[in-house]
Amino acid sequence: MSVLKVEGLRKAFRQVQALDGLTFAVEPGTVFGFLGPNGAGKTTTLRILAGLARPDSGTAFVAGHPAGPASPARRLVGYLPEEPRFYTWMTATEFLRDYVAGLFGLKAEEARRRTAELLSLVGLQDAAHRRIAGFSRGMRQRLGLAQALLNRPLVVLLDEPVSALDPAGRRDMLQLIEELRRTTTVLMSTHILDDVERVCDSVGIIQDGRMVTVDERQALLDRYATPLIEIAFRAQPDRVAAWAEQVRRLPGVASAVSNEALVTIHLGTDEAADQQVLAQAVASGMPVERFEHGRPKLEDVFLRLVGQAKEAA
């Protein structure tokens, strides 16, 4: 049974149709990447699931309970907004142990133990008794994750959890999210494709409030990502650019983009096209430093699907 189920959600803000019949489901124990460009409807969906907003029509279920402002589903959910805000006059311990644990009705001993566990998990144990006002953005994001996990939720909703963090903060946060797979289900919205590739098992791509596709990450890559070749020449960039232009016209080549002496070529479905490209490279007379098949990326799938969805619209 799906732990999250979204059926035909529609939501408009005046003239803007934020969600337009959005439907998808998330299986338990997975990290689901909710991927889409800015304004695609990711945050609106998460706010509906967290019980902070209502859809105009359609329903969102959390473990079978309809989500909403008075729904029991809120006991089962942990929610981290994109920019979590706190009562900055509280310390991290006060916020988790006295406030959030109290809202979930945890007993004092359990609240104390859980707070210590979580502060340690997110690496804030040294800042446990510091006022939140003095926390950096990364620390606030980690505290936000801790509060989202305090009730041992069935589902954790993370809205762009790493978009505002520096590289080290991003790495740490993604590592934490990866570890959550063992204990809970994660729905993570993001527009950063590398993060999805790194931690997500399943991916849903949303565009203009509609789900473009949902599948397991690898299945999506296998299905949509086109083969890729990278060729590095030892030659003048203008010669390389001219060669790339010539290759682009070959049958079976979807695109060829040059950057200085490097050419990135996306192939279509014709498996023999790479042989033709190799032959053209040799025939160009330019010394080839490197010729390799690149790994198809989710970025390619995303750009392709979002592009198709735009064209269809």
Partner 1 sequence: MVTLLRKELREQWRSNRLLVVAAVLVAMGILGPLTARYMNEMLGSIPGTPEGLEAVLPPPTAELAVSELADNLAQFGLILALLVPMAAVVGEKTSGTAALTLSKPVSRGAFLAAKLLALVVTFGLGISLAVGAGYAYTGMLFAWLPVGGFAQLAGALLIYLLFYASLALLASTLMRSQLAAAGLAFGLALALGVFGTLPAVGTLLPSALLAWGRSAASGVPIELPWKALVTASLLIPGLWAIGWAALRRQEL
Q: Where along the sequence are the contacts to partner 1 (CB under 8 A)?
A: 47, 50-54, 69-70, 72, 74-75, 77, 79, 81, 83-87, 89-90, 98-100, 102-105, 147, 151
Cβ neighbours of 36 (radius 10 Å): 26
* Least gap, CB of 29 to partner 1 (angstroms): 22
Tokens 């689901």 locate to 32
* Least gap, CB of 6 to partner 1 (angstroms): 17
Nearer to partner 1, 72 or 294 (CB): 72
* Least gap, CB of 77 to partner 1 (angstroms): 7
- Judge contact between 43 and 66, C-beta under 8 A: no
Nearer to partner 1, 52 or 214 (CB): 52
Dihedral pair phi/psi, residue 54, rounded to 5°: -115, 140
Dihedral pair phi/psi, residue 158, rounded to 5°: -115, 115
* Least gap, CB of 274 to partner 1 (angstroms): 50
Nearer to partner 1, 53 or 306 (CB): 53
Nearer to partner 1, 83 or 260 (CB): 83
Nearer to partner 1, 47 or 114 (CB): 47
* Least gap, CB of 160 to partner 1 (angstroms): 14
CA dihedral sign of residues 185, 189, 190, 196: positive
d(CA 104, CA 118): 15
* Least gap, CB of 141 to partner 1 (angstroms): 13
Exposure of 309 in the CB half-sphere (CA atoms within 13 A): 18
In which element (H, E) is residue 159 found?
Answer: strand 155-159
Q: Going by C-beta distance under 8 Å and a sequence separation of 6 or more, which residues neighbour residue 146?
A: 92, 96, 118, 119, 121, 122, 124
Nearer to partner 1, 80 or 173 (CB): 80
